[in-house]
Every structure is written in C-alpha cells, then in structure tokens.
Structure 1
C-alpha cells in the first residue's frame, strides 16, 4: 500500500525544475503575440460582427458577459498583449498571469460563440490556468525542483492528451464507424488538399487506412502519461505528436498551434539558458574573427576567456 501511495504521489507530483516554468511562460507569450494576427485573425474581426449573431457558450450565458462589440474585442486584445509581455519576461508573472487568464477566457468565448467551437486551445487554456499558480522562475534553473510545478504541468499534459483521446470518442459518438470507413479524408482533401496530399485521392484505400490510423493513434495517446520513467521513450512519443501535426498541416492546412505550444511542457526546456547560448555564440564568433575583441562589452569573465581560448 505504501509503495502504491508513493508511486501515485510521484506520478501526480513529479519534482520538476523551475527552469521549465520560465521557458513555458515565454513560449505562451510568444504564441499570444502571433495568434491574433497570424493564427486566428478572425477573432479580432468579430469586433465588426453584429451583436445579434452572438450565441454565447454556456459560460457566457452563466456569467454577466455582454455581447462582443468593437470596444470589448479591442480592449480584450489589448489586455492580453499588455499582460502577456511582462509575464513572458518574468516580471510579476503570477499577477500578470491571472490577468492574462481572465482576458484570454473572454477571448475564447468571443472566438467560439458564433457557431464553431475549436478544441485545439483546450490544452493551452489549461497551461494559462496553471502558470499563475507556479512560483517565479529563471531560465536554465535545473537545480531547483518543485512538486507544485510538476503537478501543474502534469495537469496540462493530461489536458493535452485527452484532447486527442476525446477527439476519437467524439468521432465515434457523432459519426460512428462511418468516420473511419467512409470518405472523410477524401472530402477534406477535396476542400483543403495541398500539392503534398492531393495525389492520395487516387488511392482511396490509403485514405481509409489513414482514418483508422488517426483514430488508433488518438486512442493510444494516454500511453505517454505513463512512461515518464523512461524519458527517451516519452520524448520519442512527443516527437511523434509533433510530426503528426506537421503532417496534418502539410496535408490539409489544419493547424493545432496552441495545442502544440502546450505539448511543449513534456520537454526538458529547463536545460535551455538564453544567456549561455548567447555567450557561446559570441565566443564562437570571436574565435572565428567575426567579432573583434575591441567590440566586446567590458572585460571578459574567466569563463568567457577560457571558452574563447
């Protein structure tokens, strides 16, 4: 019983380095900086949509949230960008994280209250909900471990994985075996196919096999949650997830970018230290003569001198 309790605690609260928190805060901010104009620009265009077309989600009906108009949509975007910038660079990340979460929830209500509900942002929403609960962190901190951080990222990982798993469940719930045995991908390629995928229309058997492969893949994704002890296997599975999304985008130009950003919390990003990378790059340029020593700022540290020698 004690062994089971310990194993369960280690699974739910795996000690995780604080450096990963700093990296994920930065990545979340990067996505938010590009989402509104490059990934989902239609959300910002809702400021011109008549209020009569607004069909709020349940949370929008329960909370006293007014129908989006020009100023509500614009103001929400301004709050998102203004709070994401200090959070991603580590200035009062918990305070600005809470502000960002509230604003982004309104942003998602605006995005999904006009007849179309996306599921690609579920894991990213969970990431934004967990980041304010985590302590302040610095890039490259691999020494300081926290069970709270492990618990938070574990919840994000569960949300990411169940985005896949419940997607397969929804396919069978609404389409039955017709989803995997009919022309689902044929229809998708006719509408959104690219030069890299249109050739598959000549091979219907390949498209049907791909449909079965997609569903089997989605049903098996929870495996990645239980191989944490074997990091190489876990990283290989996560790499396959990334390749899957690249393939989907190349085939039908459907992107799950916020989901992919949330998926990054599986990776050991705490090993990345931008200062160390910049220092090594600068010293490499000095060795190659690209940067004269006279242009360096101040005297070299002992470590930099050793690297440059």
Structure 2
C-alpha cells in the first residue's frame, strides 16, 4: 500500500467528515451561552450604556473598520436585544444560517462594546470563531450520525485551531512579556492572595508547589497542539477532558472562568450521539437498565422477562 503525499494527508485531515448532529448541538450550546453571558457571566457589559463616550477607546479592528459607532444607550441596548432575539431561533435550528449571521455580527459588536474600555479577554476567541462558522454549516438535527459533511469537518477544525491557539499564544505571551520570571517568580502566590478561595489559600504555605504549577501551566499550554494530531479517539477525548478539568481547577483556585472557551471546545466531542428526544423517550426505562447492568456486573441473575419465558422451549418428555 503506497503512502499518500503529505499534501493529500493534510487535506484529508482538514476535511475529515463530521456528522451533522454535532452542528445542531453546537448551535444550541452557543445560543444558550449567549443568554448565560448576558445574564450571569458578563452582565457588566450592559452597564456601558451609561459610560461617557469620551472613555471609549475602540479596539484595533474597530478603528480600521468605520462601522462601529461610539456606544451609547440605544446602541448598547439595541445590540443586546437583537443578539438575544436572534439566538433563540438559531438554538432550535430555525433558519439557522440567517439568524446565525445576525448572532455572529451582533455578538462581535457586543465584544467591541465590552473590550474597548481597557479590559480585553482572550477566552472569547474560539467562541467568536464558532459563531462566524456556524452560519456556513447546513441545517441539522439532533442525533444525526448518518449524514456526514466535509464542510462541517473543515469548520470545526478551524474552531479547534482557534481553541488551541488560545492556549499556545497565552504561553507565548507569558514568556514574551513576563519572561521566564513568570514561571520562576511568585505569580500564582500573587493571584491567590488577590483572589484566592478556600480551595487554594492553603497552597500559600507551599510556594514550591505554586512554582511547579506555573511551570506545569506553561508546559500544558505549549503542548496543547498535540491534541489536533491524536488519531485515537479515546485518547483525544481524554486530553479534552483534561482541558476541562484544568479550567475547573483554575476556577476553584482563583475564580477565573473560561466558559465561552469551554463551549467552543465542545466541538472536539462526539455530540452527535446526543438526541434529547430519544433521552426523554427512554427516561422511564433508565432505572431498570441501570439496575440490570449493576446486577450483570455483580453476577446476580436478574428477573426473567415475560417475553423471555414465552420464547423458552418446553422440556421434552
């Protein structure tokens, strides 16, 4: 068997087909997060409707594209209303391309409003890429594992690259601006003193452990691109699970959340296996199925079902 040229292998990897059911799941997650973002995750953005225009310092892209006006009460509230209204039909796959583009444009403006006053988050990068790629994907339904699309595979690969770039370039920025002192100094000690929790303050008595965690964090971020080239699905899902565990640990330690990044990272997972209607239909059977599995694992014979008794052959005389 002859090996494929490198260009063909790269093309095959980049356009690997993905089931359409994953598209429906990601649209729902993205729309649901937009409501969480407004109500709980970053509610302070709405407060910019009262901020004087003199304090507005637009991001670079807002300076080179003359389509972003200075935020005022009408612009901030109007952007939020359009964003929330369009996210609902997108979540439930109603004209997903039309409403998907509206959501992407409105959320982009929402981020310009949020980040043009001195605070810029890098945890929204992958989520923004996701919002701009979902409208390019076809209409889909939950649990569809039969219909595959190379275009969907291409789109989700771009989102995955954005997610990994968030990690890799975060490490690069630490080294570029903080130097190697970022990992050799009291970075985590300062973070815990400033915003530590009951789960992390005890670490202040072990500064060597905090320094080790700094090296581990940078090493993890630099090695994160490995997940893109892992062929074994179980190993890839295990690495992604480690990413989620890492963010949970950071949140418990210093209450820094990367929720939009985690939503975008879900495109690594086989969400096409989830069908809410099937789960609801099988919900009454779930306790019995769990009980039978536990009995089979413990070697306890379960009660014979009526249909099994009817199928059993009668003993010969």
1:97 to 74, 92, 100: 100
User: C-alpha separation between the residues in 2 aligned to 1:186 and 1:284?
Assistant: 47
1:217-256 correspondence runs (5 A) = 217-227=220-230, 229-256=231-258
Match of 1:276 in 2: 278
**SS of the counterpart of 1:164?**
helix
User: C-alpha separation between the residues in 2 aligned to 1:156 and 1:254?
Assistant: 22
Q: Does 1:216 align with 2:219?
A: yes
Match of 1:147 in 2: 150
Number of residue pairs matched by the alignment = 287
User: C-alpha separation between the residues in 2 aligned to 1:183 and 1:71?
Assistant: 45
Q: Does 1:185 align with 2:188?
A: yes
Shift of 1:36: 0.9
User: C-alpha separation between the residues in 2 aligned to 1:231 and 1:283?
Assistant: 29
User: C-alpha separation between the residues in 2 aligned to 1:262 and 1:256?
Assistant: 10
User: C-alpha separation between the residues in 2 aligned to 1:112 and 1:150?
Assistant: 31
User: C-alpha separation between the residues in 2 aligned to 1:282 and 1:99?
Assistant: 39
User: C-alpha separation between the residues in 1 aligned to 2:7 and 2:194?
Assistant: 51
Give the stretch that moved more between structures: 41-50 or 91-100. 41-50
2:116 to 113, 136, 154: 113
Shift of 1:197: 0.2
**SS of the counterpart of 2:221?**
helix
Displaced runs of 4 or more, over 3 A = 282-287
Match of 1:71 in 2: 74
1:42-53 correspondence runs (5 A) = 42-53=44-55
Deviations 1:45-92 (A, max 9, x none): 111111111000011112222111111111000111111100010000
Q: Normalising by structure 1, report the TM-score.
A: 0.90
Match of 1:176 in 2: 179
User: C-alpha separation between the residues in 2 aligned to 1:125 and 1:135?
Assistant: 19
Shift of 1:284: 5.0
User: C-alpha separation between the residues in 2 aligned to 1:188 and 1:284?
Assistant: 45
Shift of 1:286: 11
Structure 1: state its 5+ residue gaps: 288-305
Match of 1:265 in 2: 267
User: C-alpha separation between the residues in 2 aligned to 1:209 and 1:286?
Assistant: 47
Shift of 1:128: 0.3
Deviations 1:140-170 (A, max 9, x none): 0001000000000000000000100000000
User: C-alpha separation between the residues in 1 aligned to 2:233 and 2:92?
Assistant: 28
**SS of the counterpart of 2:57?**
coil
Match of 2:34 in 1: 32
Q: Does 1:199 align with 2:202?
A: yes
Structure 2: state its 5+ residue gaps: 290-306, 308-317
User: C-alpha separation between the residues in 2 aligned to 1:186 and 1:23?
Assistant: 39
Task: Please give the root-mean-square deviation of Cα atoms over the aligned residues, in Å.
Answer: 1.5
User: C-alpha separation between the residues in 1 aligned to 2:286 and 2:184?
Assistant: 56
